[in-house]
Amino acid sequence: MRGNITRRGKSSWRLKFDDPIGCGQRTRYVTVRGTKRDAERELARLLSEMDRGSLVEPSRLTVADSLRQWLNNAHELSPKTTERYRQLAEQQIVPHLGAILLQKLKPAHVQQWHGTLLKQGGHGGRSLSARTVGHAHRVLHRCLQRAVEVEMLSRNVASAVRPPKIEAHETQILTADQIRDVLSEVQDHPLYPVVVIALATGMRRGELLALRWEDVDLDAAIVKVERSLEESEHGLRFKPPKTKHGRRAIPLPQMGVEVLRAHKLCQLEQRMGLGQGKLEPSTLVFCTVESEPLSPDDLSRDWWRLTITRPLPRVSFHSLRHSHASALIASGLDVLTISRRLGHASPVVTLGVYGHMFHDTGREAAEAIEAVLKR
């Protein structure tokens, strides 16, 4: 074997080998704890990586340092995503793995970290859900993958450990009767127009609040989704949809058209009364009195307060989108059409979220193929 192994202590060994650099070479030293057999295996691994050209430079960078450096320069992430990733990093990753040298992080560390978070990773030592642990795992995985890409790591150890399995659960939705009750209860409330359009189109909160009158064709009963409003620690900003399927045209039901016509007239009268002039094509459909964007978080909070003060089901504003999807599924609409209406990247995403709502058509399929076979 190239290189040599020297005992440094009872269970400590020094590995020495030459690493070619250009026309010359340099001597590398690595300390290994364990048995001599462990040292031999580590030396063999290092020499193998050197031969493949994947041996990385030694670094004292910790997991915490790596996370912070990546997030400070992760220009591919949106401000909102960066903000959420930073929270997960500082609250769920750094306290448990942050002090470990990046190049010393092992799959066993990641596995143990999962268990710790599930038991006592939350505020005050409370347990965390498998979903939250999965989000934290994704942040760590992306950070490590970036380190692999810049050749600080030879492999992504987070790929060797699966995040905790998330138990399937029923998505919060309103039934058809509940939808009618909700519309009746909020008809006199300022949120009524946006609630109706949320239920009528299945648009996301940010998409609704980014909607301009130029995106709405009431004669053709079409709403075009061209952008979304995002809220982060840096404020509000408009951004394009994440995928090409996010930019879409959604046919409106008649009730949606009627509500938007009435809302447009009310908005125009309000603007004229305040001396703001007529509605411009770029005017937001749902906005403040000063025609400024509404805060998505404020919209969610206002909706939640409404569910508390009135006899309404205690569901989040986002559940109105789920309720829209549920109504389409119950009507027998195919998954591809539903996926396109919701702006999902693919029908696979739709099935992942709403698959449990589709009826089992196995018997119908068997009967259909039986009819073909007997011809």
Q: Which residues pair with 249 in a beta bridge?
A: 224
Residues with Cβ within 8 Å of residue 150, at least 6 apart in sequence: none
Percentage of the chain lying above the pLDDT 70 cut: 89
Give the residue among 59, 319, 359, 83 at the shortest CA–CA distance from 179. Answer: 319
For residues 89-108, give the mean pLDDT: 94
Same domain (yes/no): 260, 351:
yes
Collapse the DSSP code of 113 into the 3-class scheme (helix H, G, I; strand E, B; otherwise coil) and give the result. Answer: helix
**pLDDT at residue 258, as a whole number:** 96
Collapse the DSSP code of 69 into the 3-class scheme (helix H, G, I; strand E, B; otherwise coil) and give the result. Answer: helix
Same domain (yes/no): 180, 92:
no
Domain CATH number, residue 195: 1.10.443.10
Same domain (yes/no): 117, 232:
no
Q: Is the pLDDT of residue 276 over 90?
A: no
**pLDDT at residue 150, as a whole number:** 78
Q: Which residues pair with 251 in a beta bridge?
A: 222
Amino acid at 348: V
Q: Is the pLDDT of residue 362 over 60?
A: no
Same domain (yes/no): 239, 325:
yes
For residues 233-257, give the mean pLDDT: 90
Percentage of the chain lying above the pLDDT 90 cut: 55
**pLDDT at residue 33, as a whole number:** 87
Of the pLDDT bands very low, low, confident and very high (cuts 50, 70, 90), residue 93 is: very high
Structural domains counted in the chain: 3
Same domain (yes/no): 226, 326:
yes
pLDDT, the chain, mean: 88
Q: Which of 244 and 179 is assigned the larger pLDDT?
A: 179
**pLDDT at residue 283, as a whole number:** 96
Lowest-confidence range among 3-7, 45-49, 221-225, 256-260?
45-49
The domain boundary residue, chosen from 160, 193, 222: 160
Collapse the DSSP code of 258 into the 3-class scheme (helix H, G, I; strand E, B; otherwise coil) and give the result. Answer: helix
**pLDDT at residue 134, as a whole number:** 93
For residues 213-227, give the mean pLDDT: 96
Q: Is the pLDDT of residue 365 over 70?
A: no
Same domain (yes/no): 11, 85:
no
Q: Is the pLDDT of residue 357 over 80?
A: no
Domain CATH number, residue 122: 1.10.150.130
The 10 Å CB-count burial string (b at 16+, else e) for 83-103 is: bebbebbeebbbebbbeeebb
For residues 93-99, give the mean pLDDT: 95
Lowest-confidence range among 6-15, 16-25, 106-115, 224-233?
16-25
Whether 365 is covered by a domain: the verdict is no
Give the residue among 252, 241, 207, 209 at the shortest CA–CA distance from 345. Answer: 241
Whether 77 is covered by a domain: the verdict is yes
Q: Is the pLDDT of residue 151 over 80?
A: no
Of the pLDDT bands very low, low, confident and very high (cuts 50, 70, 90), residue 166 is: confident
Same domain (yes/no): 295, 245:
yes
Same domain (yes/no): 324, 193:
yes
User: For residues 159, 160, 165 and 166, what is the CA-based torsion angle, rounded to 10 degrees?
Assistant: -10
**Most confidently modeled range among 24-33, 350-359, 360-369:** 24-33
Same domain (yes/no): 181, 204:
yes
Whether 135 is covered by a domain: the verdict is yes
Same domain (yes/no): 145, 183:
no
For residues 189-205, give the mean pLDDT: 96
Of the pLDDT bands very low, low, confident and very high (cuts 50, 70, 90), residue 123 is: confident
Whether 368 is covered by a domain: the verdict is no
Whether 183 is covered by a domain: the verdict is yes
Same domain (yes/no): 183, 317:
yes
d(CA 295, CA 292): 9
Q: Is the pLDDT of residue 170 over 80?
A: no
Structural domain for 36, as ranges: 4-52
d(CA 148, CA 273): 60
Whether 369 is covered by a domain: the verdict is no
Whether 43 is covered by a domain: the verdict is yes
Whether 375 is covered by a domain: the verdict is no
Same domain (yes/no): 266, 189:
yes
**pLDDT at residue 247, as a whole number:** 94
